[in-house]
Amino acid sequence: MYASVIVDIPSKSVNQVFDYRVPEGMLDILKVGHRVLVPFGRRTIQGYVMKLSEMTDFDLERIKEIARTLDIEPVLTEEMVIIAKHLADYYIDQYISVIETILPAALKANYKKVLRLAEGHGATAKRLLESHQQGGEVETRRLPAPVLEELAPHLASGEIKEETVITQHTKKKTALAVYSLRHPEVELSRAKKQQELLDVIESSSEPIFIRDLAAEGFSNHLVNELVRKGYVEKVERQMERDPYADRVFTLDPPKVLNEEQQHAYDRIAEMMDAGEPRTFLLHGITGSGKTEVYLQVIQKVMDEGRNAIMLVPEIALTPQMVNRFKSRFGDDVAVLHSGLSHGEKYDEWRKIKEGRARVSVGARSSVFAPFENIGAIIVDEEHETTYKQGDRPMYHATEVAKFRSRYHNCPLILGTATPSLETYARSERGVYERLELTQRAGTKVLPEIHVVDMAEEHRGGNTSIISQTLKEAIDQRIERGEQTVLLLNRRGYSNFQICQNCGYVPICPNCDISLTYHKSNSSLLCHYCGYESAVRRICENCQSDDVTFRGTGTEKVEEILRDMFDTEIVRMDNDTTRRKGMHEKLLDRFEEEEIPILLGTQMIAKGLDYPKVTLVGVLNADTMLNLPDFRANEKTYQLLTQVSGRAGRHALSGEVIFQTYNPSHYAIQLAKGNDYRQFYEKEMAFRRLARYSPFYFHVLFTVSSEDISKCLKATSHIHDALVDAVSDKSIIVGPSPSPLERINRQYRFQIMLKYKREPALLEVLGGLDEYYHEAYRTEGVSLRIDVDPQVIM
């Protein structure tokens, strides 16, 4: 038998399967999806079995044998092997990159070279090697040059050999436990505490962790005494890293569905019973009870012995969603998102893989949860661009969800109050089935929305970022003991520093963008490459001391709010949530301590559900309108609608205030009226005229290099290749500088291809990717091909 293996080398030159002979001893155990060690050139590396067959087209004498398997059960299911091939081909990437994205980072191989004694070694070689051991081994890269010179003769003679050791990135976690050796005649009447401990240990059918015994008041000394007397024995026992181990979840029984919710549930259940992979758009206004529909669909899935995947767009949404799901389904829920450590994610992934979890909740990458019997897949807030991976492989989680839905013949539910235009257009054509929820659950009504013209405010003498209307509304909430959510989609203290004498603005030396002032650590920071410098009070250009800061970020607004209202503020942005677990801690503090104001960037705009939040203020509704992106109006409408939905979700009525310099803009006015249908029709007219999605598909080519002339040459070459390859019906826009022309010292130019049908396109994209893979190695010119881009910055 022969195994086709993808090797763990992220290089275009080896982006193919290699055939290996399966040893006799592996014939009955080796399966598709197994991790294996294989000889490759002069080294041994990790690989993944993609196919097994009785025949091979390669020269039998040159085919090598698999060294060994790394797992008892395959880490990849046959479905994931198919998905890896599909994603690598469609998104123009390497198979191994996609496989490593599908699997938890813990399974990534670590390679190191060590020196070991060979058979027939002499005493001198043994003494030398042992004198340089650290932790029981001699790692080649840690040896200084003189030591390597000393060992060289013994390497040349073959007394010492170099081997590649492959280990997993993260191992299963273990801890000391004890179990009883079962001596029924034992009686420790003179040592009552020891007898009590022994009774506890004997009552357990499996070893008990010593840390758990300590929590019950039994000291290590007591345990050691029982070990010394031979009544119990210590053993290493595997334990799971459970990020929710210390949390208590109150049981949440199913709610009674209203008529619209029940209709949506019934249609989804009907397709589940029919085994049809139908895609549903669950279009429900904010607060309409979409989550309860999700929960009851998943309950039906579990009752039928199947599993479910629930995707949310951001970590900030995960805590509340986890609470809802854990309260409903308990330990059947596994959580997968980037806020967990490698070890925690690995253990949650193993819970799914081993069948100990029935439901996964998490962000984009959890679409690859290794379930083998899926009954439903749900994508909440389906319009969010975070479902598209920004780095290679640039897959879209919803596209993977569609693939898995077809593979398992199960429904896919795309839930949102503000569908992407592409999704809504498909529901109009009947490709997706649309289910509408037009009323808020229970007796709750949508909040009242007001638009404040900030130009009028300034003409009236108010130069603050807080309008008089918003200030009065916040004062009222503080007096009534209610809470306010304020959105400003710009972090930092000030946008930039400027010299008022000569106009000089400090720019990032690596990127074509001004540095943002962060007052908390008195630094100027680039939000693109991370460059940081200390604030200088003297102008670098003219040496004037007349320097000031302009623009307003969340850090500065927090300061303004504290002075204006003399109250506590919770600020949520990338600066305050950088450390693990801070999303949840800040939100818990906001709710439990009833902090009057939550201020944040767009991470607070969706998914949050607090009974005392009755006011939402958008401090600058124009932020996204000014982006050089054809989706700018759509993103503005979605953000405003989503954040408006945070107000008045429970018994108290809500109010929303949009502050803007463009009060008549249709995206703002239609968000005020919560009129998605009219927005859709108006925006689609523009898209049709400009020939953008959903009327055309897109591919974005971004070329980058430290040498601008190489960028120009490469984009000209790509443009010519596309002109020769695509039909006249397709549109090629560019080459042109990217909206952010230089990032991290790399100049960036781009080309946009718009097309409807190009059968030979994937072949052309593959050829360009291969060509510039080599060009990057030789000339430092890189090409990024983004199929179906969500952002064109």
The secondary structure element, H or E, covering residue 572 is strand 569-572
State residue 624 phi and psi, 5-degree precision.
Answer: -80, -20
Give strand ranges (E) for 214-368: 232-238, 279-284, 307-311, 333-336, 359-362
The dihedral formed by the CA atoms of 367, 368, 373 and 377, expressed in degrees to the nearest 10: 10
Enumerate helices (H) and strands (E) in the chain, giving the number of each.
22, 33
CA distance 791 to 737: 15
Q: Cβ–Cβ contacts within 10 Å for residue 544, how many?
A: 13
Decide the pairing of beta strands 279-284 and 307-311. unpaired
Q: How does DSSP classify residue 729?
A: T
SS3 content of the chain, % helix, strand, coil (to 5): 35, 25, 40
Bridge partners for 720 per DSSP: none
For the four alpha carbons of 321, 327, 332 and 334, in that order, the dihedral sign comes to: positive
What residues contact residue 425 under an 8 Å CB cut-off, 6+ apart?
Answer: 684, 694
Is 711 annotated among the ligand-binding residues? no
Tokens of 306: 């199947």
d(CA 452, CA 64): 73
| Max Cα–Cα distance, the chain, nearest Å | 95
Q: How many CB atoms lie within 10 A of CB 402?
A: 17
**What b/e readout covers 756-772, taking b as 16+ CB neighbours within 10 angstroms?**
eebeebeebbeebbebb
Give the DSSP letter of residue 255: P
Place of tokens 């200390």: 534
Question: Quick one: CA torsion of 624, 628, 634, 639, rounded to 10 degrees?
Answer: -20
Give me 454's structure tokens: 């900030």
DSSP characters over 3-47: EEEEES---GGG-S-EEEEPPGGGTTT--TT-EEEEEETTEEEEE
| Three-state SS annotation for 83-96 | HHHHHHHHCCCCHH
Residue type, 110: N
| Rounded Cα–Cα distance for residues 7 and 47 (Å) | 4
Distance (Å) of CA 718 to CA 210, 725, 729: 64, 10, 18
508 among annotated binding-site residues? yes
Task: Report the chain's terminal Cα–Cα distance, integer Å.
Answer: 50
CA distance linking residue 734 with residue 761, whole number of Å: 18
Q: How far apart are CA 81 and CA 97, in angstroms?
A: 13
Q: Is 410 annotated as a binding residue?
A: no
Among residues 320, 324, 316, 280, which one has the least CA distance to residue 299?
A: 324
Euclidean distance between CA atoms 334 and 348, whole angstroms: 6
In whole angstroms, give the CA distance from residue 570 to residue 294: 30
* 576 Cβ neighbours under 8 A, 6+ residues apart: 582, 586
Rounded distance, CA 174 to CA 686, Å?
A: 59
Report how far residue 780's alpha carbon sits from residue 746's, in angstroms, rounded to the nearest whole number: 10
* Six-digit token string for 727: 């039909």
Q: Which CA distances in Å does 617 have to 440, 570, 680?
A: 21, 15, 24
φ and ψ at residue 288, rounded to 5 degrees: -85, 0
What is the distance, to the nearest Å, from the Cα of residue 499 to the centroid of all Cα atoms in its chain?
40
> Tokens 């320097």, residue?
547
539 is in an annotated binding site: yes
Binding site residue list for Zn(2+): 499, 502, 508, 511, 526, 529, 539, 542
Residues at the annotated binding site? 499, 502, 508, 511, 526, 529, 539, 542
